[in-house]
Structure formats: structure tokens, C-alpha cells
């Protein structure tokens, strides 16, 4: 029987389904070497024996192959590449200042075979970085790739914790950024105050999107906040709704508040 595990590439990369070779024993937390589109890369097992959500229309497209368990040499190289990436980051920052480019450098990383260095940045518009690439190639004697990303990708790369106190959803399990609308916040009855419904990236929180369908189902048959209705005790106005307990607080015309339960 084919064994599949969930592996997060690098520290904050995407989570992929990976196939384990016969005879290879792996545990959660182990570092492994994986066959990736850009060649060999490293990752860490986050859930042995579990199938993560499909990251493409055809789930088979995302199933990678685990080549081996990372050995001591691999782990030393990973640590060394992290240190080198910090130096590359600082060098790139200086060159950006020299060329006076309107861009914010977010992260630098080496490919596992050290043949390429990738620099991730954000910018308000398009940036002509051709001269910057030439300078960096002369310094590092390697292929240089500059990749412009959005503010959500920046939050995913840098990591952090949301207002809920947990690690950001984009870091923990989200593979793609789906559109999030203000309608989703309204459905949950949240205050439409941007700082309260925005994530660290400054955009609407991603959790609003994958909670939306659940709230729509739980809200069926419940009155809306502000709705006027008739109760056995008289006319009243809905002041609050709890979709989980399926109850609504109604303020009657005489100021009395009652709680109504819905099946």
C-alpha cells in the first residue's frame, strides 16, 4: 500500500503530499529530501500518514517523492544556507539602495543545490531590476531570481500569529489565497472595522473565507440582527444572534429582553 505523508517545504513553504519509498521509516518532525519541480529540496514532515487538502484540480499533480531522510551533511548544509541567505539578503539591500529602487526586500534563500539564489520582494508597481540582477550575479556567481510577491505572500513568508493567538492560517495550512469579501464578515456578524477584521498583511482575514459556508448553513432559519418580529410576549427587535446556540436576543417594546431559541 502506498504511504503518503504531509511535508512542508523549507521553513514556511507549501505543504505537499509526498510518497515514501519502500523500507523508509519516517516520523513527524523529520527533515527529508524531496524531489521538487526545481530539483531536490528539503522539507519537514508535519503529519505522517495524513493526506493534506488537494492543492490543485488534480491532486496527483502535487504528490512529490521523498528521496531520503536528511543526513547530517544535509542538515549542516541547510544551516549553512540559512546563514548564507542572511548575508545575501544584506548585500541585496545595499544594492537596492545604490540603485534607488522602490522595492521592499522580504526574504532571500538558496536553492538546495546552491546553483540559484531567490530574492522575494514587494513593490507598489513594476520594478526594472535588470541592473540589480547583474550586480548580484557578479557578487555571488550564481543564478539570480527576483520574484515580486503580494502582501499576503509576505505575511506567509515572514510568519506570525493572528489576533486569535494562533499561527497564521497561511503559514499553517493554506496553500492558495482565495478572494475574501466584506460580505463574509457581515455574515458572521463581525463589526465592519478594518483593523478588527484584517490580518497582519492588512487584508481581510483569510479565515473569513473558509468559515463563510459554515456560517451560511448555521444561519438558516435565524432572524437577522435589527429585524423586527412578533413573539408570544409581543413585538420586538432582534439585538443579537448566536448562530452556534441558534438563539436570538429580542428587545420588546417595553424594553424587556428575551431570548428565543430556534430548532
Confidence of residue 218 (pLDDT cuts 50, 70, 90): confident
**Of residues 200, 33, 203, the one with CA closest to residue 111:** 33
Q: Does residue 17 or residue 48 have the better pLDDT?
A: 17
- The β-bridge partners of 34 are 41, 66
Query: Domains in the chain, please, with CATH?
Result: 4-69 (no CATH), 76-149 (3.30.300), 155-218 (no CATH), 228-261 (no CATH)
The grid coordinates listed for 257 are: 429582553
Name the average pLDDT for the chain.
86
Highest averaged pLDDT of the listed ranges 129-143, 161-175, 200-214, 240-254: 129-143
Place of cell 538546495: 112
Identify the pLDDT of residue 54: 44
**Of residues 222, 220, 184, 230, the one with CA closest to residue 204:** 184
Place of cell 448562530: 243
Confidence of residue 127 (pLDDT cuts 50, 70, 90): very high
Amino acid at each position: 500500500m502506498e504511504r503518503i505523508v504531509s511535508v512542508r517545504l523549507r521553513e514556511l513553504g507549501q505543504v505537499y503530499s509526498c510518497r515514501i519509498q519502500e523500507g523508509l521509516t519516517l516520523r513527524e518532525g523529520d527533515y527529508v529530501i524531496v524531489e521538487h519541480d526545481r530539483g531536490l529540496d528539503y522539507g519537514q514532515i508535519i503529519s505522517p500518514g495524513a493526506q493534506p487538502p488537494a492543492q490543485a484540480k488534480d491532486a496527483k499533480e502535487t504528490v512529490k517523492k521523498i528521496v531520503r531522510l536528511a543526513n547530517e551533511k544535509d542538515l549542516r548544509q541547510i544551516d549553512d544556507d540559512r546563514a548564507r541567505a542572511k548575508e545575501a539578503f544584506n548585500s541585496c539591500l545595499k544594492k537596492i539602495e545604490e540603485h534607488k529602487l522602490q522595492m521592499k526586500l522580504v526574504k532571500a534563500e538558496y536553492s538546495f543545490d546552491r546553483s540559484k539564489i531567490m530574492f522575494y520582494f514587494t513593490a507598489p508597481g513594476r520594478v526594472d531590476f535588470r541592473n540589480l540582477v547583474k550586480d548580484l550575479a557578479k557578487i555571488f556567481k550564481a543564478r539570480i531570481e527576483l520574484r515580486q510577491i503580494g502582501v499576503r505572500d509576505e505575511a506567509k513568508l515572514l510568519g506570525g500569529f493572528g489576533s486569535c493567538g494562533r499561527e497564521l492560517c497561511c503559514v499553517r495550512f493554506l496553500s492558495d489565497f482565495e478572494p475574501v469579501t466584506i460580505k463574509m464578515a457581515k455574515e458572521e456578524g463581525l463589526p465592519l472595522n478594518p483593523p478588527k477584521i484584517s490580518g497582519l498583511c492588512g487584508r481581510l482575514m483569510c479565515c473569513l473565507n473558509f468559515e463563510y459556508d459554515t456560517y451560511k448553513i448555521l444561519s438558516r432559519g435565524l432572524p437577522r440582527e435589527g429585524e423586527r418580529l412578533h413573539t408570544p410576549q409581543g413585538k420586538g427587535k432582534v439585538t443579537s444572534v448566536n448562530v452556534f446556540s441558534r438563539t436570538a436576543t429580542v428587545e420588546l417594546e417595553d424594553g424587556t429582553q428575551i431570548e428565543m431559541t430556534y430548532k
